[in-house]
Amino acid sequence: MFNLKALRKNKTVQYGVPMLLLIVGGSFGLREFTQIRYDAQKRKRLDPSLEAKVNVEKQPVILEEEYKKMKDLKLDEWRNIRGPRPWENSKDYQEQQRGSQSKAA
C-alpha cells in the first residue's frame, strides 16, 4: 500500500511515464496513418483516356521543334488586359475591354 502511494506522488511516474507513452504511441499511430495514405495512392488509378494523354506528354522534348513553335507565335500582337477589380462590375468591364480591343484591331 505504501509503495503505491509513493509511486502516485512521484513526479517521474506522474508526468514522465505518460509523456513517454504519448511519444512512443504517437509514433506507432502516425506510422499507421501514413501507411493508409500511401496505400490509397497506390490504389488510385487514372482514367484510361487521361492516362493516354499523360503517356503522350512523356515523349522527349526536342528544342529545335519548340523553337519553331515559339517563332511562329505572334508576340507583337499580344496585349496585357487586367481583370476587373472587386468594386467594378465585371460585365461592364468586359464589355469595355471588348470595345477597346475591336478599336485597336
**Residue pLDDT, tens place only, 16-32:** 999 999 999 999 989 98
Residues 6+ apart with CB under 8 A from 97: 81
Q: Is residue 96 part of a domain?
A: no
Q: Is the pLDDT of residue 105 over 60?
A: no
Whether 57 is covered by a domain: the verdict is: yes
Answer whether residue 83 shows pLDDT above 90: no
Q: Indicate whether 45 belongs to any domain.
A: yes
83: closest CA among 74, 67, 96, 73? 96
- Tell me, yes or no, whether 38 lies in a domain: yes
- Asked whether residue 89 is assigned to any structural domain, the reply reads no
Examine residue 90 and state whether it is found in any structural domain, yes or no.
Answer: no
pTM check: above 0.85: no
Domain tally, the chain: 1
Taking 80 as the threshold, does the pLDDT of residue 46 lie above it? no
Which residue segment(s) compose the domain that 25 sits in? Answer: 2-77
